[in-house]
Amino acid sequence: MKENLEAIKALSAFETEGESVGVQPYGNGHINDTYAAYYQLESGECRRYLLQRINDRIFTNVNGLMKNIAGVTAYLADKILESGGNPEREALSLILTKKNGLYHTDEQGNCWRMYRFIEDTFSVQIVEKAEDMYYSGISFGKFQKLLAGYPAESLYEVIKDFHNTPRRYLAFKSAQEQDILKRAGLAVKEICFVEERVKEMDALTSLLADGVFKLRVSHNDTKINNILFDKTTKKGLCVIDLDTVMPGLYHYDFGDAIRSGANSAAEDERDISKVEFRLDFFEAFTRGYLEQVNTVLSDEEKNMLPMSAKIMTLECGIRFLTDYLVGDTYFKTHHENHNLERARTQFKLVADMENCWTQMQDIVQNLAATAAGK
Ligand code: ADP
Ligand code: GN1
Ligand code: MG
């Protein structure tokens, strides 16, 4: 396969140990092309590295992105070591190129990077038990806690306005007005759903603009499959997929983790009756999360956690709907209405959250009080 050949060729650029014996496409990522690269050591032992071709259609400033990752992973490694952990398993570690670079650019202009492979882990795609959400909350909470002292302003804004919900709304309006594929008529219900919530779009961004929230280091893509879980302990071990680490808000991470994890069904489930917001999963995640960051977050930040779940879910639905209206140019789709179906699941979750709003607020208040008493 041509793809594998390009990956094999890229291997020789990196400072690896042993003899390369092959590569295999790996994982379920939707953005980068990921490979497991196999090596034979002199001792006869086998070693894997994780090789990725960075998606430069989405990430146009690969240099800035890689500097972000290098800075954050080195900082995390120090913090993990200080607290008696194992940085080689609990944080991503980059393998440098033979020229001491953070990534390699091949003759075709493809950018490649390599990580130490973290062995004996598993990933969760759809959450089936509250325990997984609890450990997910601990992992993302710990990630924020360890990075709380990292200067957020020093990070590149890899994708501008990535979680700027009002901007996402404007892009949606423009797509709806232009309606180049005449699809708006097929999405009337979904378009109305967005319009009915227009006043809420700036719930998070206005607090940042007003100085109520300070700029934080956020991960920005806190799907549960961006955590590697330890096969032995079953606990969250390492937060991965650091491409979108940027200056932002903790709420982007809390909200997106709830959006993706507290869903009883897949993000693109067609049978909407199967899609349900799981309040028990929300509770489990929040418990793990606040155990880690209760003292890091201000009261204002804590109060807005339920709202962040709603806004991030609404925003993601708006992004899917926009992509549907402009002709599926961003998210990979596998059938004609894929993005519209994805938007529907997100809006169902938003509606469910609105129906248990007081309970969500009570859960956060009670768990914050419990965590403070510990
Ligand atoms: P994408 O941005 O395409 O989602 P990820 O960085 O999340 O790509 O990586 C894709 C998959 O590769 C992950 O879901 C995970 O299974 C695996 N993976 C990533 N980094 C490592 C690593 N250092 N060790 C082991 N597996 C990894
Ligand atoms: C994309 O790579 P993946 O599938 O984890 C997207 C996220 C969306 C998500 C929705 C860089 O994430 O923002 O929430 O799809 N990543 C980017 O499934 O746009
Ligand atoms: Mg990923």
Q: Give the model's pLDDT for residue 27.
A: 86
- Report the mean per-residue pLDDT for the chain: 96
pLDDT surpassing 70 at residue 1: no
Q: Which helix (H) or strand (E) holds 353?
A: helix 338-355
DSSP 265: S
Which residue minimizes the CA distance to atom 11 of ligand 1?
A: 27
Cβ count within 10 A of residue 40: 15
Pocket test for ligand 1, best of 33, 34, 50, 136 (most atoms within 8 A of CB): 34
Confirm or reject: Cβ of 99 under 6 Å from ligand 2: no
Q: Give the model's pLDDT for residue 188.
A: 98
Reference 183, options 336, 347, 358, 11; nearest CA is 336
Which residue minimizes the CA distance to atom 16 of ligand 2?
A: 221
Q: Give the model's pLDDT for residue 267.
A: 94
- Locate 26 and state its tokens: 């790996």
Q: Give the model's pLDDT for residue 47.
A: 97
Mean pLDDT of 185-196: 98
Reference 308, options 358, 255, 233, 253; nearest CA is 255
Confirm or reject: Cβ of 144 under 6 Å from ligand 2: no
pLDDT surpassing 70 at residue 171: yes
Give Cα 130 to chain centroid, integer Å: 19
Confirm or reject: Cβ of 223 under 6 Å from ligand 2: yes
261, 262, 264, 268 alpha-carbon torsion, rounded to 10°: -60
**Least confident window among 332-336, 338-342, 358-362:** 332-336
pLDDT surpassing 80 at residue 74: yes
The tens digit of pLDDT for each residue in 218-252 reads: 999 999 999 999 999 999 999 999 999 999 999 99
Give Cα 315 to chain centroid, integer Å: 14
Distance CA 317, CA 225 (A): 19
pLDDT surpassing 80 at residue 374: no
Ligand 2 centroid, distance to 372 Cα (angstroms): 33
pLDDT surpassing 90 at residue 3: no
Distance CA 256, CA 246 (A): 15
- Amino acid identity of residue 295, one-letter, is T
Q: Which helix (H) or strand (E) holds 61?
A: none
Distance CA 311, CA 202 (A): 9
Which residue minimizes the CA distance to atom 3 of ligand 1?
A: 29
Indicate which atom in ligand 2 lies nearest the CA of residue 256.
14
Mean pLDDT of 298-318: 97
Residue at token pair 């492979």: 117
Residue at token pair 């969500």: 360
The tens digit of pLDDT for each residue in 94-145 reads: 999 999 999 999 999 999 999 999 999 999 988 999 999 999 999 999 999 9
Q: Which residues is 216 bridged to in the sheet? A: 248
DSSP 263: B
Q: Which residues is 142 bridged to in the sheet? A: none
| Ligand 1 proximal residues by C-beta, below 6 Å | 26-32, 34, 50, 92, 115, 117-118, 123, 225-226, 228, 240-241, 243
Distance CA 271, CA 148 (A): 41
- Locate 280 and state its tokens: 């028990």
Contacts with 185 (C-beta within 8 Å, 6 or more apart), sequence order: none
Share of the chain above pLDDT 70, in %: 99
Q: Give the model's pLDDT for residue 28.
A: 76
pLDDT surpassing 70 at residue 359: yes
Contacts with 367 (C-beta within 8 Å, 6 or more apart), sequence order: 283, 286, 287, 290
The tens digit of pLDDT for each residue in 12-39 reads: 999 999 999 999 999 876 789 999 999 9
Q: Which residues is 14 bridged to in the sheet? A: 97
The ligand with the least distance to the CA atom of 121 is 1
